[in-house]
Structure 1
Amino acid sequence: MKEIVSFFTFGCKLNQYETEGMAELLQNDFRVTFDSEIADIFVINSCTVTAEAERKLRQLYRRLKAKNPGSKFVIVGCYSELSAGELKDLGFDLILGIKDKLKIKEFLKENTENTCIKDYFQVTKGPYGRTRAYIGIQDGCLNNCSYCRIRLARGNKIISKPPEVVAEELKTLVEHGFQEIVLTGINIGFYGFGEGYSLISLLKQLVKIEGEWRLRLSSLDPRLVSNELITFMTDNPKIAQHVHLSLQSGSDKVLKSMNRNYTTNDVEQIVALFRSRNNRFSFTTDVIVGFPGETDTDFVETLEFVKRIRFLKVHIFRFSPRPGTKAARMSNQISGNIKKERATVLKKVALEASKDYLNEHVGKESTVLIEKNDGIFSYGYDEFYIPHRVTGSIENGFVKVQIGGIEELEAFSDVELSCRSVAVR
């Protein structure tokens, strides 16, 4: 009988993609599951963005270990890349780094022969078999943000999956029934750096692939958003009208201290260009509160910026000093109580900003990709990455809807607002 391997994933969409890649490498030799708390082997794909992510991973490990004292525990990813000694002391049986993900089969089968000859995964399924699938197209980052530990783990060498390989992977996913494909990486704006191709040239190739499907970009660095990219994205019906812009702060002083090398005005101009071409274009973002030296005035500037942009969603992080980063050594560290208080205030402001944005969609039509239904309502996201609750039981696939209003909904754990909609055709 095949051993059971259970995967747990922390962190970004690239990690989720790489978990699916590892699962497919193991599927012929093991019985692969996701998030099962009973297994022979546990593989935890780790994240080191925040101390909280690491804390939750250690908590999960202890719980699983108590339930499965005889099982084997393997950790891979950014946390294990940078903190192997700590994790060994914690009791993990096997500690693997970033590149070892591609050799997971050999490690689990204790085969010393390396059969992996690629620098990247290729998958045929999405995470947990949904209607949405990810394609990792790039790894590494050339930036030097003062708070970020990921570059220390992933490195500053840009590795880009060749365009023809990305196209082949996308075709396969579409043939398997996936209708939304998300391109992801550590910083996809650097895709093709030094290779003679770019993100825009990749998009131009991918949109030619036939079928009923939609392409979404996972996250864009404001420093790498060009007018050409904006024009192409807003002109092409196969590309979702949504971008996750990595803002981090609405204060220029804080952005400079973060070494982000752009200003709030730069971001605002990008937003204005997108919305001048499609006034419904949506933006989600990340904001760090309590960065060292962030004053009350700086924080108010962030609140005002979030209101002005009308983000669909703001992912809020309390600053976490990460070992090996410049920000961890900065003076004027902010107390935990102030960070917690600012996160609470920002959450309320972000919710109102989201309501302002969503109210502009009431009475208008969107194309929703239905992902599930409960027999009474159907649920999915539209081209603006707005979640919808659609009246009626509708099979998975695209459906045109009219938006009747907005509501708070528990159908999606990562959102607080949803559109109440009806199918029109």
Structure 2
Amino acid sequence: MKSVALHNLGCKVNGYEMDVMQQMLQEKGYKIVPFDEWADIYIVNTCTVTNIADRKSRQMLHKARKLNPEAVVVAAGCYVQTGKEDVLKDVGVDLAIGNNKKKELIPFLEKFLEERVEKVNEKTNDGFKTLDDTTIIDIGNTKEFENMQLRETSGNTRAYIKIQDGCNQFCSYCIIPYARGRVRSRKEEDILEEITGLAARGYKEVVLTGIHISSYGTDFGGPALLSLIESIHGVEGIERIRLGSLEPGIITQEFAARLRTLPKFCPHFHLSLQSGCDETLKRMNRKYTSGEYYEKVELLRAVFDHPAITTDVIVGFPGETQEEFDITKNYLKKIKIYEMHIFKYSKRKGTRAADMKDQVPDEEKTRRSNLLLSMEKEYSKDYRTGYIGKEVEVLFEEEKVIDGICYQTGHTGQYVKVAKRGEDSLSNQLIRGKVTGFLQEDMLLIE
């Protein structure tokens, strides 16, 4: 049987889909090999969130071609969806598969291999790369959720579960609605079936992920995200339920209060902020104000004991003056988020922001980014310090050797890294212990 090498770029949704594609290939008897080795087939699950992501996608496709000039090189995913014309012109790509078509990887691949012998002299033919326009659809018009079933992942403690696809928000800097289409939610029974199977195989934590999970259920009038979480809570064997990125608007008193009653729910909330300045938020086409965001954070802190609140912040968005940046900086000082992922605005062709006036110079973006990164480091340490002397519950995952000493490491429900000294594996065990201090800058130590 042929050998296949896979490489994934981008978000957790892409990661989930890649895991399922690998699973399908293995079930068909394909041999999976590392991506930097010789293979008969190379599959790159691409990303297109920024122009840099596009470039990385092309680089990995061309790397595959160099590793084996005679291999079948498959480009799949978001870059294919938004950059179809470029992909079809790229002589390094043999087969192009868009979003909502990854489930059909095996039949597409087998059909391509059958026809390749006959059409060997037509490798750059557009119709051949898309199997007569069957591998890429008009994603904006589809209402079907591409249901996949994951049975195992590369890890052995935590599984990411795709519950939703697409986005209707159209933030001015974001290409994803064009790459992923409109909101499409997965049926609750399919989600529960997948999670039940994973629990039977020993997985104890699930992370609900999607492109915009706050919109779960809004497209078919079905149960909303909160009801889904409550249903998952009843699955035997699952000990932790964690959420992917949320929009502030979903946080209400009822939402927080009902989650507070669920012992398996992890009080870790990633609430996308992007800017603390209302004028910048308007240009970004975000659907909240800085004041509304602050209210949501305070609500969570009132309902939960020491919840972990993390966020994303973009610096150097078009038109962001020094005054606007200072507003964001002062806002972040007031709100003191546990972890902030700081991004320098990257122009993305095809978005409204790419054509906006007053683009911020790269050196200024770097300066602003460095300032916020310094703040993030301070606030992150402050948050972790709050656990010293307290007892926490840790789901252990792997062994690490630090300064010649063996430790078992894992995460708390708030996703704080924790280590316990010892050589005996604690993988996939939930253990309580008292925090004694820091082992590393981003890792606490328990005994």
TM-score by length of 1: 0.91
| 1:34 Cα offset (Å) | 5.7
Aligned to 1:129, what secondary structure does the other structure show? Answer: coil
Aligned to 2:111, what secondary structure does the other structure show? Answer: coil
- Give the match for residue 39 of structure 1: 39
Alignment counterpart, residue 148 of structure 2, candidates 121, 124, 128: 121
Alignment counterpart, residue 381 of structure 1, candidates 411, 414, 437: 411
- Give the match for residue 296 of structure 1: 322
Cα gap change, 1:419/1:383 in structure 2, threshold over 3 Å: closer, same or farther?
same
Q: Which runs of 5+ in 2 are unaligned?
A: 113-130, 135-143
Task: Decide whether the 8 Å contact of 1:306 with 1:350 is kept in 2.
Answer: no
Cα gap change, 1:250/1:166 in structure 2, threshold over 3 Å: closer, same or farther?
same
| 1:195 Cα offset (Å) | 2.6
Structural mapping, 1:132-147, within 5 Å: 132-147=158-173
Whole-Å separation in 1 of the counterparts to 2:73 and 2:39: 10
- Give the AA of the match of 2:436: G
- Structure 1 residues 201-210 or 370-379, which shifts more? 370-379
Aligned to 1:109, what secondary structure does the other structure show? Answer: helix
Aligned to 1:135, what secondary structure does the other structure show? Answer: strand
User: Between the two proteins, what is the percent identity of the paired residues?
Assistant: 37
What is the number of equivalent residue pairs in this alignment?
410
Cα gap change, 1:185/1:15 in structure 2, threshold over 3 Å: closer, same or farther?
same
Structural mapping, 1:2-401, within 5 Å: 2-29=1-28, 30-33=30-33, 35-90=35-90, 91-110=92-111, 119-126=146-153, 128-156=154-182, 158-193=183-218, 194-374=220-400, 376-393=406-423, 394-396=425-427, 397-401=429-433
- Give the match for residue 412 of structure 1: none
Aligned to 2:163, what secondary structure does the other structure show? Answer: strand
TM-score by length of 2: 0.87
- Give the AA of the match of 1:71: A
Aligned to 1:74, what secondary structure does the other structure show? Answer: strand
Task: Decide whether the 8 Å contact of 2:145 with 2:184 is kept in 1.
Answer: no
- Structure 1 residues 174-183 or 63-72, which shifts more? 63-72
Whole-Å separation in 2 of the counterparts to 1:373 and 1:297: 47
- Give the AA of the match of 1:144: F
Cα gap change, 1:332/1:35 in structure 2, threshold over 3 Å: closer, same or farther?
same
Aligned to 2:426, what secondary structure does the other structure show? Answer: coil
**Which deviations, in whole Å up to 9, do the C-alpha atoms of 1:295-326 show, x marking residues without a partner?**
11222222233333332322222111212211
| 1:106 Cα offset (Å) | 1.0
| 1:83 Cα offset (Å) | 0.4
Aligned to 2:311, what secondary structure does the other structure show? Answer: strand
Cα gap change, 1:118/1:323 in structure 2, threshold over 3 Å: closer, same or farther?
closer
| 1:212 Cα offset (Å) | 4.8
Aligned to 1:6, what secondary structure does the other structure show? Answer: strand
- Give the match for residue 405 of structure 1: 437
Cα gap change, 1:73/1:359 in structure 2, threshold over 3 Å: closer, same or farther?
same
**Which deviations, in whole Å up to 9, do the C-alpha atoms of 1:396-424 show, x marking residues without a partner?**
11111221223535xxxxxxx121222xx
Task: Decide whether the 8 Å contact of 1:189 with 1:225 is kept in 2.
Answer: no
Aligned to 2:271, what secondary structure does the other structure show? Answer: strand
**Which deviations, in whole Å up to 9, do the C-alpha atoms of 1:350-398 show, x marking residues without a partner?**
1111111111111112111111114720111110011112222342111
| 1:215 Cα offset (Å) | 0.7
**RMSD over aligned Cα atoms:** 2.0
Cα gap change, 1:212/1:84 in structure 2, threshold over 3 Å: closer, same or farther?
closer
Cα gap change, 1:18/1:254 in structure 2, threshold over 3 Å: closer, same or farther?
same
| 1:5 Cα offset (Å) | 1.4
Whole-Å separation in 2 of the counterparts to 1:238 and 1:104: 35
- Give the AA of the match of 1:270: K
Whole-Å separation in 2 of the counterparts to 1:371 and 1:47: 28
**Which deviations, in whole Å up to 9, do the C-alpha atoms of 1:140-162 show, x marking residues without a partner?**
11212111100011112x22111
Task: Decide whether the 8 Å contact of 1:37 with 1:64 is kept in 2.
Answer: no
- Give the match for residue 414 of structure 1: none
| 1:235 Cα offset (Å) | 2.3
Cα gap change, 1:36/1:174 in structure 2, threshold over 3 Å: closer, same or farther?
farther
| 1:9 Cα offset (Å) | 1.0
Cα gap change, 1:365/1:106 in structure 2, threshold over 3 Å: closer, same or farther?
same
- Give the AA of the match of 1:256: K
| 1:284 Cα offset (Å) | 1.5
| 1:175 Cα offset (Å) | 0.8
**Which deviations, in whole Å up to 9, do the C-alpha atoms of 1:274-301 show, x marking residues without a partner?**
1112231001211111100111122222
- Give the match for residue 413 of structure 1: none
